Homo-oligomer: A and B are copies of this chain.
Amino acid sequence: MASDHTRSAILAAAERLYADRGFGDVTLRDIVAEANVNLAAVNYHFGSKDELIAELFVTRSLATNRERLNELKAAEEAGGGRASIEAIMHALVGPTLRGCLGPDREGSTAARFMIRASIESVPPIRRIKNREVDHLRKFVAAMRRSLPGRDDAELYWGLHFALAMSHHTIREKERLTKLSEGQCDLNDVHAIVERVVAVSVMALTGGEPARKAPARSMAPPYGRLTRQDI
Contacts and interface: CB of A to CB of B under 8 A. Distances in A.
Interface string A18-49: 00000010000000000000000000000000
Contacts of A153: 180, 183-185
A137 interface: yes
Nearest to A177: B156
Nearest to A167: B168
A81 interface: no
Interface in A123-145: 123, 130, 133, 136-137, 140
A83 interface: no
Contact of A137 (B169, B175, B179): B179
A202 interface: yes
**Most chain B beta-carbon contacts within 10 A, residue among A120, A136, A164, A209:** A164
A222 interface: no
Given A133-B178, A178-B133, A161 B207 contact: no
Interface string A154-168: 001101110111011
Contacts of A121: 119-121
Contacts of A133: 175, 178-179
Interface string A181-197: 00111000000000100
Given A137-B179, A165-B165, A202-B206, 4 more contacts: A152-B180, A153-B184, A160-B179, A202-B203
Interface of A: 24, 119-121, 123, 130, 133, 136-137, 140, 152-153, 156-157, 159-161, 163-165, 167-169, 172, 175-176, 178-180, 183-185, 195, 199, 202-203, 206-207, 209
